[in-house]
Structure 1
């Protein structure tokens, strides 16, 4: 397995830290890594309204060029110490597939790696962000038939993201496939969603996609599990799905955090 962190954010993330991209690079080198991929939140389609209060879920369109250029400068500067790639974490937003495809087509030749993730769910005529806060998660539950219904909708949306036609530059890695469990200790599901999770792994295997093994969940108060947890990681490994380590760092000191807690 490649020794690297392939899910990393930057100061261009409006809900992250002000740590420079170079600080992330230096921390990766300090930890003996060979690879680092910046996967900043791609800007949303211009017609999509961010549902979180501060409208800070994704990078601003105005910052994209600086983000890419800063990453490329670091790639050259540290080419003898670390293999750096500059990419995106792209939101799959149901109903905005065409707009997302245009974004991917526009940046595709310049982006070296990317992740497709589900943070936003469509509930009726509105969109919600499921991982914003435990309070917001509780409010979202009032829009559905409860926690089991929300879990089912989440897994259905992840499956749709895998099956969606997003053009030639669609990401080949699917992000934190159990993110809906971020607040599981406060809002526990009463049903078992093993079937839905297994279906997602089967789709990844069938389409030869990669799985983001995301250690950030270990450090969430109401979760304390990787995304996905170890039993799903084991199943993915048995299927031969490529497992790609990601810390989901939003600050340099979190590079590689928790990788030692995952059994490979």
Structure 2
């Protein structure tokens, strides 16, 4: 089975307008038999998106259209490929109740879901850890150092793993080393080996899957998978279920870097 479990759509406000059907046709042509559309879920209504463009998730008004479109395409292409309706859900510290209520409502409709950390809380202010190297620099300054920003990220990841988000809480953790995205921009050598291994061990303990995310290879200030290959091997040794995700925001990005990762998945 060739599976890509992390794909975005034209409903993503920071993606492209490539049609959902074009993604499906490329997946079939590329020999994939199982794909998940995991659009960024709407953020809680009482949460203010801290990104300069305020484009981190789809709007709540688009959610029904997104669900209807993927459900329709699942039926159209059911003989050619398995299509899963999913969401990438943000864990936002302090908004657990809102997220759980959202999942209680939407969860029964979903086939798949990813739980990701993008936002970090410092003194009641939120920063998007992966928006830009400039915003990352602001995050590091607010934390006191790059190393402390990394630690805050892993601490928040741990909270996401243990958070009570109800019976429909996603069981796959998205790109768990996303904090590496600007590592070549800040230029500091941060030893986070213990933190990464700890997170993976917690995922094993709690029965979670790993989003083996190839998108970091395409980021010029990262140039590695999330997590890096050595940790994919470690996760495999722990028996954590591994799901490749291209994290594509365009048809061109679909399945990208699968060739670097697929040997770890079997």
Give the TM-score category using the shorter length: over 0.9
Q: Distance in 2 between matches of 1:218 and 1:153?
A: 23
Give deviations 1:108-150, integer Å, cap 9, x for gaps: 1101100000000001110010100111111222211110000
Residues 1:250 and 2:257 are matched in the alignment: no
In structure 2, the partner of 1:181 is 180
Q: Name the structure 1 match of 2:34.
A: 35
Structure 2 residue aligned with 1:97: 96
CA root-mean-square deviation: 0.9
SS at match of 1:261: helix
Q: CA offsets per residue over residues 195-219 of structure 1, 9 Å max, x none?
A: 1111111111111110000000000
Q: Distance in 1 between matches of 2:254 and 2:189?
A: 34
**What does 1:97-246 correspond to in 2, within 5 Å?**
97-246=96-245
CA contact (8 A) 1:147 1:188 kept: no
Contact 1:4–1:256 (CA under 8 A) maintained in structure 2: no
Which runs of structure 1 show a deviation greater than 3 angstroms over 4 or more consecutive aligned residues? 188-191
Match of 2:185, SS? coil
Residues 62-103 of structure 1: CA distance to partner in whole angstroms, max 9, x if unpaired? 000000000011100000000001110000000000000001
Distance in 1 (alpha carbons) for counterparts of 2:85 and 2:188: 37
**Distance in 1 (alpha carbons) for counterparts of 2:60 and 2:125:** 23
SS of 2:203's partner is: helix
Q: Provide the C-alpha distance between the structure 2 equivalents of 1:123 and 1:24, rounded to a whole number of angstroms.
A: 38
* Aligned residues of 1:101 and 1:170 also touching (Cα < 8 A): yes
What is the alpha-carbon distance in structure 2 between the residues aligned to residue 214 and residue 49 of structure 1? 27
Structure 2: which 5+ runs fail to align? none
- In structure 1, distance between residues paired with 2:4 and 2:203: 21
Give ranges in structure 1 of 5+ residues lacking alignment.
Answer: none
> Is 1:49 aligned to 2:51, yes or no?
no
CA–CA distance in structure 2, aligned partners of residues 99 and 176 of structure 1: 23
Q: Distance in 1 between matches of 2:189 and 2:218?
A: 23
Q: TM-score, normalised by structure 1?
A: 0.98
Q: How many residue pairs are counted as aligned between the two chains?
A: 263
Aligned counterparts of 1:52 and 1:81: Cα–Cα separation in 2 = 39
Give 1:189 shift: 4.0
